[in-house]
Amino acid sequence: SRILSLDSNNVEILEDGKTINDVIDGKIKELSAVDNEEPFYVLSLDSMLKRHLRWLTNLPRVKPFYAMKCNNTPTVVRMLMALGTGFDCASKAEIQLALSLGVTPDKIIYAHTTKPMSHIRYACNHRVDVMTFDSEGELLKISLCHPQAKLVLRIAVDDSKSLVRLSSKFGARMSSVGKLLEQAGELGLEVIGVSFHVGSGCTGSLAYKQAIADARYVFDVASLLGFQMRLLDIGGGFSGIGDFQEKFEEFSEVINAALDKYFPPGSGVEVIAEPGRYYVESAFTLAVNVVAKRVVADERNSPDKAMMYYINDGVYGSMSCITFDPAHSKLEPYLHRAVDSSEPTYPSVIWGPTCDSIDKVTENYWMPELHVGEWLLIDNMGAYSVSVSTDFNSFERAPRSHSAWMILHYFDHFPPGHCGSTGKKVEKYSEGKAAWLQTGQDNPSAV
């Protein structure tokens, strides 16, 4: 049993009527009192919980294995561990982090098809057995470093309808799966399943239908070769914001229908997925400070002025998604303070703090005039932000654990009968400074 503790995770229970903006107000006042205007994140655990309930409702047969690469904030990992999810790890460091936070080896899939041999040995030594492969070379490495591994063959699928395409880099072609499975058998390795990934920002739900059908074909080939196939991993790329807000339910219907057709209940096949951004993208709000300002002439030589603002986070920090994540390439900062509807707006450029002109957050962005020292907020900053930020120019990364506040709203119990994939009861304690998300024992203790 695992418990999410208030004290060890910087969690605050919001009382009735208190909002995340109130929390941000308090954090800004706290920073001002110590002459600190560094950026910070606020995480809504309530948002993550709602996403989990939405997943359970729409994909009841599919167990989520959270993609650690998306956001490895310890509180995120502990929250999802308490909800009973598994974890998709892609490196030794991610496995180390998961294990250090209390994740058990059987809840980890080592989902990378090109692993360093030392990382495979580490997985072996720590009983992380389930891992993916897509080539003969990977099979040879695994046979040398972890011969008892339980292998999942990743196949390339049609990702032409996705904003982030992965099949050009990962996945075995259907024409090669027979040979790969034969080699696995010759090496004495155990293949237990198939995985695929249709890419992030997928706009065509039929990609899942075809991929699941392809996986069925591989299952049948493997069964003829004597493998006991029992795991299907349908990958990640799920979203729930912007244009994808309503697509999750649509995609779920297609996925469920395909699963019922090709892997019906009672077939003995466990189905998992690797959601990352789905859980955390909307849970994080980033607060940044305006550290400098320039008034510039409008390019059309009109009397209207234009603005340039410089903030203390940018594309080398939390906002690398602008450059590297086509599924989240547009940010919409807004003022933390109240804005009067009569305030004029001006075309504005917002720059990050570094000395590089690539460090541009947004341009031709109309907003009221800002002043140095004011704060901007950016929503939906949980995916591929904190996990890929750098300290280029030695600018401090936005804190995400010790000084950032983590929020847990009041919430109702899970639907009757089960509470997440653990099937255990979720309770809330809110006496004084004690608050836990409990999934097992009666006496709370921190993970």
Q: What is the pLDDT of residue 160?
A: 56
Given a contact cutoff of 8 angstroms between Cβ atoms, the answer to whether 307 and 292 are in contact is no
Q: What is the pLDDT of residue 91?
A: 96
Three-point CA angle 139, 142, 144, nearest 5°? 110
Residue 357 has pLDDT above 90, yes or no: no
Residue 102 has pLDDT above 80, yes or no: yes
E runs forming strands in 224-264: 231-233
- Domain annotation for the chain: domains and CATH numbers: 3-43+282-394 (2.40.37.10), 72-275 (3.20.20.10)
Given a contact cutoff of 8 angstroms between Cβ atoms, the answer to whether 110 and 138 are in contact is no
Q: What is the pLDDT of residue 386?
A: 78
Q: What is the pLDDT of residue 414?
A: 46
Q: What is the pLDDT of residue 201?
A: 60
Question: Which of 404, 401, 406, 435 is CA-nearest to residue 43?
Answer: 406
Rounded Cα distance, 12 and 142, in Å = 45
Residue 432: other Cβ atoms inside 10 A: 7
Amino acid at 268: G
> Catalytic: which of 70, 89, 124, 355?
355
Dihedrals phi, psi of 85, to nearest 5 degrees: -75, 165
Rounded Cα distance, 149 and 127, in Å = 9
Q: What is the pLDDT of residue 319?
A: 85
Q: Output 120-126 pairs: Cβ under 8 A, ≥24 positions apart.
A: 120/145, 120/146, 120/149, 121/145, 121/146, 122/92, 122/95, 122/96, 123/92, 123/95, 123/149, 124/148, 124/149, 126/95, 126/99
Rounded Cα distance, 234 and 70, in Å = 17
Residue 147 has pLDDT above 60, yes or no: yes
Q: SS in 3 state form for 184-196? A: HHHCCCEEEEEEC
**How do residues 114-130 score in pLDDT, each as one tens digit?**
999 999 999 999 999 99
State pTM to two decimals.
0.84
Q: Which residues contact 126 (CB under 8 A, 6 or more apart)?
A: 95, 99, 105
Tokens of 107: 């809840």
Q: How far is CA 312 from CA 42, 383, 395, 404, in A?
A: 16, 19, 8, 16
Q: Output 263-269 pairs: Cβ under 8 A, ≥24 positions apart.
A: 263/212, 263/216, 263/219, 263/232, 265/61, 268/230, 269/193, 269/219, 269/229, 269/230, 269/231, 269/232
Q: How far is CA 36 from CA 2, 141, 193, 348, in A?
A: 35, 50, 51, 25
Question: Which of 414, 407, 413, 412 is CA-nearest to residue 435?
Answer: 407
Dihedrals phi, psi of 205, to nearest 5 degrees: -65, -25
Supply the mean pLDDT for the chain.
81
Residue 257 has pLDDT above 90, yes or no: yes
Candidate from 14-23, 154-163, 249-258 with smallest mean pLDDT: 154-163
Q: What is the pLDDT of residue 434?
A: 25
Residue 380 has pLDDT above 80, yes or no: yes
Q: What is the pLDDT of residue 125?
A: 98
Q: Which has more confidence, 144 or 413?
A: 144
Q: What is the pLDDT of residue 97?
A: 97
Kind and range of the H or E run holding 120: helix 117-125
Dihedrals phi, psi of 36, to nearest 5 degrees: -135, 125
Judge whether 145 counts as a catalytic residue.
Answer: no
Residue where the block lists tokens 């080896």: 105
Q: How far apart are the first and last CA of the chain?
A: 10
**How do residues 237-254 score in pLDDT, each as one tens digit?**
787 655 556 688 888 999
Candidate from 205-214, 314-323, 371-380 with smallest mean pLDDT: 314-323
Rounded Cα distance, 14 and 280, in Å = 19
**How do residues 181-199 score in pLDDT, each as one tens digit?**
999 999 999 999 999 988 6
Q: What is the pLDDT of residue 186?
A: 97
Given a contact cutoff of 8 angstroms between Cβ atoms, the answer to whether 260 and 250 are in contact is no
**Per-residue confidence at 279, pLDDT binned at 50, 70, 90?**
very high
Give residue 336's Cα distance to chain centre. Answer: 25
Q: What is the pLDDT of residue 198?
A: 83
Q: What is the pLDDT of residue 410?
A: 41
Dihedrals phi, psi of 421, to nearest 5 degrees: -70, -10
